[in-house]
Structure 1
Amino acid sequence: MGTKTPEELTGTHHGPMPQPPDPRGAATDLDVLAALQAAFATTVDTVDPDVPVPSCGRWRVRHLVVHLARVHHWAAGQASRTRETPLGRGPFDLPVLYRTCAEELLTTLRRLDPAAHAWTLSDDGVPREQQTGTVAFWHRRQKLETLVHLWDLRAAAGLATDVGPLGDATQWWDAVREVAEVMHPRQVRLGRVAAPPVALVLRRGDGGPEPVDVVLDGGSAVAPAPASPRVVVTGRAQDLGLMVWGRVPTASSALAVAGEGMADDDAHAALAGLVAAGLTP
């Protein structure tokens, strides 16, 4: 997800943003991915490639577009268990490059059986006999990769970031769940960060069909004791998703942070430390 290499995976808009298919709740991850890709491609057509992207460090729009195109190309190879042919250094025609790689990914994922074995981030650092990754992993991973980077692109250009597929709280809540289920446990498993000293509880404050908290504990197999300290963060699904991906600061007024079994000030400090250490690649 992020702003790293593919292996570490991360103006005015004209016309309506593409929407995930109806009826409500019927859209698959591939449906949403297609809608997000279409929105990204349409936005690329309207934004100056030299516009800075503050959420991605020193990147400009052209770096973001090439990055997501490369990730799509790489992920298509991961899903089909083939080494991708490098795209080269460029320069690229950005709209053509992105549309070509987006279509390659979507075509590949639609062709493959979702249950077929694939190379996935879930299996990094896991013994071969215990690896369980399937093509369906990439349906979700690329959906959420594109969700976050579409936000990056539109925020950089000063465009609305809560319209079309970006306004779908279900997808942002899935981004939160994926960090807790896949990304942060991988960080811990690969030794990039230490297992968190306290559990981080992420709680939707905007309703929705999934009121159950997401608990981020680094994938610990040992359930914390009931009296263990916890950091509880409440906010909209989008703000929580952006926070775990480092796009919204932990001190944002959009987030309510409280400690359970610890002082609120200590909870704020613990949250800031966890996010700074790297919940994601």
Structure 2
Amino acid sequence: MRLLECLAADQARLRQVAATDLAAAVPACPDWTVADLVRHVAVTYLHKVECMRTGRIPSSWPPDVSAEEPLPLFDRACRALGTEFDGRDPAALAPTWYDPDQTVGFWLRRMTQETVIHRVDMELATGRSVAEIPADLATDGIDEVLRLFLGYRSRRWPEDFAEVLPESAVEILAAAGPASWLVRLGPEGATVAPDRAVALGATIPAAPSRSASAGPAATVSASPDRMLLWLWRRRADDAIGWSGDRAAVDRLRLALAPATR
């Protein structure tokens, strides 16, 4: 399965890069070193393993893993996560924070995307070159961060987004290669519909018909890998191109902040 291939490749790269400088500061995660981030990824993996093994979200977390060194802990977590994914059908039930999808497949996608972003964090922290993010993986990640992290979460937990949403609705088109998404930001939250999207291992709903408005206030565009990292706030604004209302672009960037912490 493609997601498993991507996950394994980025786990290997993450570990390789992390081992070069565990003490380096991580720009995207203030006050964290590479060692802290390695522990975070490992504990995140173990949390998903527990969700899948027990069929419930752990009530007490995280466990005390302070006695384990970061890289051996990461190795143990990778093995445990791989065992779960290898032994379960992606359609099997597993509890998640995303109500519409309570399956193992959700966690397979989520952990794959979690890993590629933190792999990039390690590369930026240690001054290593950022390895390629395959276009299909990046496109899937764009879909996830826009539809789930921004769209779903802004409506499921509106209190987290109250300070970043506009008082009146604004539409922005995000285009990455052959795929694009129409993002509508409003005081009640965000709605996101794929205009032309192909996602890796994900079921994409049909886009609703466009409104009778004059179209989006702005368009942001980039290659899939650059767009993914810009949306996750790992790249500066010069990573993307834009047209239309610059204030609408800035509003999208602002709305993404609580979604991508």
TM range (shorter): 0.7 to 0.9
Distance 1:38 1:198, change over 3 A: same
3-state SS, counterpart of residue 238 of structure 2: coil
Instruction: Name the count of aligned residue pairs.
Output: 232
For residue 119 of structure 1, the aligned residue among 79, 95, 108 is 95
Asked whether the 8 Å contact 1:180–1:215 carries over to 2, the reply is: no
Aligned to 1:28: 2
Task: State the Cα deviation string for residues 128-181 of structure 1 (Å, max 9, x = none).
Answer: xxx5411111111000000000000011111111x3xx4312211211110122
Aligned to 1:95: 71
TM-score normalised to structure 2 length: 0.80
Does residue 1:153 correspond to 2:122, yes or no?
yes
For residue 193 of structure 1, the aligned residue among 150, 161, 167 is 161
How far apart in 1 are the matches of 2:101 and 2:256?
A: 28
Distance 1:220 1:44, change over 3 A: closer
Structure 1 outlier segments of 4+, above 6 Å: 220-223
How far apart in 2 are the matches of 1:273 and 1:86?
A: 30
Distance 1:223 1:274, change over 3 A: farther
Distance 1:72 1:273, change over 3 A: same
Asked whether the 8 Å contact 2:172–2:220 carries over to 1, the reply is: yes
Aligned to 2:211: 225
Aligned to 1:15: none
3-state SS, counterpart of residue 259 of structure 2: coil
Q: Which amino acid aligns with 1:118?
A: A
How far apart in 2 are the matches of 1:86 and 1:270?
A: 34
Asked whether the 8 Å contact 1:39–1:150 carries over to 2, the reply is: yes
How far apart in 1 are the matches of 2:71 and 2:57?
A: 24
Distance 1:132 1:54, change over 3 A: closer
Asked whether the 8 Å contact 2:172–2:248 carries over to 1, the reply is: no
How far apart in 1 are the matches of 2:228 and 2:56?
A: 31
Specify which structure has the higher proportion of strand.
2
Aligned to 1:266: 247
Q: Which amino acid aligns with 1:225?
A: S
RMSD: 2.3
3-state SS, counterpart of residue 92 of structure 2: coil
Q: Which amino acid aligns with 2:182?
A: V
Does residue 1:135 correspond to 2:104, yes or no?
yes
Does residue 1:202 correspond to 2:174, yes or no?
yes
Following TM superposition, by how much is the alpha carbon of 1:96 offset from its aligned partner in structure 2, in angstroms?
0.5
Q: Which amino acid aligns with 1:241?
A: L
Q: Which range moved further: 214-223 or 191-200?
A: 214-223
Listed as ranges, the matches of 1:236-255 within 5 Å are 236-249=223-236, 252-255=237-240
Asked whether the 8 Å contact 1:76–1:105 carries over to 2, the reply is: yes
Distance 1:105 1:280, change over 3 A: same
5+ residue gaps, structure 2: 185-189, 194-207
Q: Which amino acid aligns with 2:118?
A: H
Q: Which range moved further: 185-194 or 221-230?
A: 221-230
Following TM superposition, by how much is the alpha carbon of 1:271 offset from its aligned partner in structure 2, in angstroms?
3.0
3-state SS, counterpart of residue 173 of structure 2: strand
State the identity as a percent: 27
Following TM superposition, by how much is the alpha carbon of 1:254 offset from its aligned partner in structure 2, in angstroms?
2.1
Distance 1:30 1:224, change over 3 A: same
Asked whether the 8 Å contact 1:231–1:270 carries over to 2, the reply is: no
How far apart in 1 are the matches of 2:89 and 2:105?
A: 8
